[in-house]
Each structure stands twice: as structure tokens, then as C-alpha cells.
Amino acid sequence: MELFWYIVLMTMLTIYVILDGYDFGAGIIHLFFAKKEKDKKAITNAIGPFWDANEVWLIAVGGVLFFAFPTLYASSFSGFYLPLIMILWLLIFRAIGLELRGLVHNKMWEAIWDKAFGISSFLLALFFGIALGNIVRGVNLGMVTNGVSTHEAHYFFLPLWNTTFSPQAEQLGIIDWFTLLLGVIGVIALAIHGANWIIFKTNSGLNQKLKKVIFNLNFVLLALVIFSLTIWHIIEPKPFHNFMEYPWLWIFPLITFTGIFGLFNVKTFKKDGLGFLFSSLFLFGGLVSTVSSIFPKVLPSTNNVNPSLTLYNVAADEYGLTVGVYWFVIAAILVAIYMFIQYRVFRGKMDDVGYGEH
């Protein structure tokens, strides 16, 4: 039953990354490339009917985490308290940036909320990439100092960074050179993803420029992904042990690189949705490959005193997990109906939606 809920949790997280990922990416494109008012409107039109529903998936992930893996929930929300609060504020500013911009037709007012939307989107992509880096790298569970655990085995707390900026320090920080690398990969990947969504959902004059941006950024993305794989052994001595033991897992790295290499053809795609498909494949394959590499760990321990958190030692009681399945089926059906209606109503190009205009 623990494995079932783990798959549910990872599925919901992947859906969130793909759906809200194009929102963040659109915000990054809005920040750096949308200079004309018509281009800004095209971007907000492309995501306007979807962004708030997409963010509900993050709440759903938190709910399933609380219900199915309460120890992991308690550990993560205490240890990552500072960055989680920062993420909360970024989500707030991103939302009000979209909603308040059109209330007053004044250049200064609009510029303030444009920056709030764009900078928040950029930092959210960066922080979520850094968060993935922290999970891969692990944390100092129990706050071990000089070989002695100073707190409970599942407890930890991380400052934003430590003085060494090293992922191998005894007292780690949220940001070090390894987690920052994954954060940069997250920003680039979501910028590409958001650009593909804009191309897919609009006839904006930006589209041809965005195809060139995607093509160029894809080279950077490929280089950084290869670099991160080559240095992974510094963090984990045997980073591919699960793939060696279960060869079928190689399908996920294959999907990842299919997404990357497919995006090199973005300038020649006849259908606008193909770019979004390939960037979705990259995000799906990359995320599943990453969590597969540390399975069954869900939060590795960087010390030898306290064991890593796994899906088996952080799960709720068997009875609760079993009862929850019935409610999950009902919720899944309702969500599927809602998403079908939403994407059916707003299918096609979104240039004339007029989102945020008052």
C-alpha cells in the first residue's frame, strides 16, 4: 500500500511540474522577452484560464503527503521551513501580479505587477530546482555534529546556505553549488516549457523569436544535464545502482533525452503543440529518473548515524492508507472531469481571451 501511495504522490507531483511548469516558464518569458504590450497580453491570455487550477495540484500533493507519509511531511516542513515560506510568498506575489495588473491602467502600476509576476515566476522555477537538488543530495537528519545526533532521527533544519557553499559539508545549507546547478537547470527547462506553451496557445508575434530562444536554450540545457550527470557521483557514490539492478528503468532517461533532442527540431515543427509535447517528455522523464535513482529513499541522510527516510519508514498506518484509496478514486474522477471540461472549453488559440482586463 505504501508503494501505491508513493506512485500516486509522484504522479501528482509530475502533473504539477508539467502544468504549473508552463505557468512559471511563461512568467520567465514575460520577464525577459515580452517588451510590447501586445506580447504581454498574449502571454497572460495563454495561461490565464489555467494557472490557478494548475496550482491546486501543489495543494493536492501536500494533502497526500500529509495523509500518506506524515513523518516525511513533518520532517520536510520543519527542515525546509524557511524556503517553503519564501515559496509561499512568491506564489502570492505571482498570483496578485496577474490579478492586480489590469485594475489600474497606469504604466507604473502595470510595470510593478509585471515585475512581480516575472521575478516570482523566475525565482519559483529556481527554488523548485534547488528543492529537487536537496532531495537528491540529502540532508543531515538528526543534526549530527561530530558524530553525535543532537536531535530526533527524522529532524533537521537547513539555513539558506553555509559558509563553504559545499554539498559535502557536515552542516548543509539549502543552496550550494550542486543544488544551485539543478536550480539553473529548472529555470532553463521551464523557460523552454513555457515558451512552447505560448507557441501552442497563441499566434503571438513572439512565436518565431521564441522558437530561436528554445533552440539556443536547448544547447545550454543539454550541456548542463550532461554535466550534472557526470558530477553526480560526487554526491552519490553509486548514482545509477537502481538502473543497473532494474534495467527497465532506463526507459525514463531515454524519455528525458528524447524530449531534449526533439526540441532541436522546434524551428521545423508543422504543429505548434509538438514543442510542448517534447518539453513535457523532458520534465516527465527527468523527474521520474531522479526519484527512481534514490528509490526507496524519499529523503536521504548525509550521515552514518541516522538512517535515510524511505517510503516504508515514513508511511501512515496500513488501515488509513487502505481507507484513503476509496476517497482517492472519487477525487480522481472529479478532477478528471474538471480537467476535461476546462481544456475542452479553452481548446485552441487563446489570443482573444482578454484575461486580466477590467
Per-residue pLDDT of the chain (358 residues; tens, 9 = 90+): 888 989 999 999 999 999 989 999 999 998 988 888 888 888 888 888 888 888 888 888 888 888 889 889 888 888 888 888 999 999 998 888 888 887 778 888 888 888 999 999 999 999 999 999 898 888 888 888 887 777 888 888 888 888 888 888 778 889 989 999 999 999 999 999 999 999 998 888 888 899 999 999 999 999 999 999 888 888 877 878 888 888 899 999 999 999 999 999 988 888 888 999 999 999 999 999 999 988 888 988 888 888 888 888 888 888 888 888 888 889 889 988 988 888 888 888 877 776 666 5
Q: Considering the domain boundaries, does residue 30 fall inside one?
A: yes
The three cell numbers locating residue 223 = 550541456
Q: Is residue 350 part of a domain?
A: no
Per the structure, how many domains does the chain have?
Answer: 1
Peptide bond between residue 296 and the one before it cis (omega within 30 degrees of 0):
yes
> Does any domain span residue 255?
yes
189 found inside a domain: yes
Please indicate, yes or no, if residue 341 is contained in any of the structural domains: yes
**The whole model's pTM is what?**
0.91
166 within 8 A of 177, measured Cβ to Cβ: yes
Domain-embedded: residue 135: yes
Contact call for residues 285 and 51 (beta carbons, < 8 A): no
Please check whether residue 314 lies inside any domain of the structure.
yes
Each residue of 33-50: b (16+ CB within 10 Å) or e? bbeeeebbbbbbbbbbbb
> 294 in a domain, yes or no?
yes
Domain that holds residue 37: 2-345
